[in-house]
Amino acid sequence: MAGVVTITTTTQLERELSRNPNKLIVLEFMAPWSEPSKVMKIPYRQIAGNSSKDKVSFYTLNVDKFRVCTVWMVPS
């Protein structure tokens, strides 16, 4: 049974992805204030818990704390 790993740094994300080249990787991009994130939290963890950790890895990233880029302008 697999669990959900919280990714907190770019280095950790890169390490996890390179460590598992032949696995299915499922990334949850969430925000604690987001209603859809709140609704999906329990089902996501249930699916992770019922999955084979040899075949699939589940990760979660808090988009408020895991900043990779900055939006400078949104064209309209």
Separation of alpha carbons 44 and 49, rounded Å: 9
Q: What is the pTM of this model?
A: 0.80
What is the per-residue pLDDT for 73?
A: 64
Q: What is the pLDDT along the chain (76 residues), one digit of tens a residue?
A: 568 999 998 899 889 889 878 889 999 999 999 999 999 999 999 999 998 888 899 999 998 887 665 656 666 6
What is the per-residue pLDDT for 65?
A: 84
What is the per-residue pLDDT for 34?
A: 92
Domains and CATH numbers, the chain: 4-62 (3.40.30.10)
What is the dihedral angle through the alpha carbons of 11, 21, 43, 38, rounded to the nearest 10 degrees? Answer: 20
What is the per-residue pLDDT for 33?
A: 93
